[in-house]
Amino acid sequence: MAKSSNATELIPDHSRQKASSFDSLYDEEHPLRRAVRPGLLKRRDFALDVVREYDSPRVLDVGGGSGRVGELILEAGAREWVNADIAQEMLDLSRERLQRFGDKVTLVHGDFLTVPLDGKFDVVIALGFFDYQPNAHLYVRRMAEVCSGSAVASFPRWNWLKGPVRKLRYEVIDNCPIFNYPERELRFLFGSAGFRHMLIKQGRSGFLVRADR
* pLDDT tens digits for range 12-48: 443 444 444 445 444 445 444 444 445 689 999 999 9
- Return the percent helix, strand and coil in the chain, to nearest 5: 45, 20, 35
Contact between 121 and 138 under an 8 Å Cβ cutoff? The reply is no
Phi, psi of 142 (to 5 degrees): -65, -40
Per-residue confidence (pLDDT) for residue 121, from 0 to 100: 98
Residue 55 and residue 35: Cα distance in Å, rounded?
33
Residue type, 149: G
Which of 32-41, 121-130, 203-212 is most confident? 121-130
Going from the N-terminus, what domains does the chain have, and what CATH number goes with each? 2-212 (3.40.50.150)
Contact between 200 and 183 under an 8 Å Cβ cutoff? The reply is yes
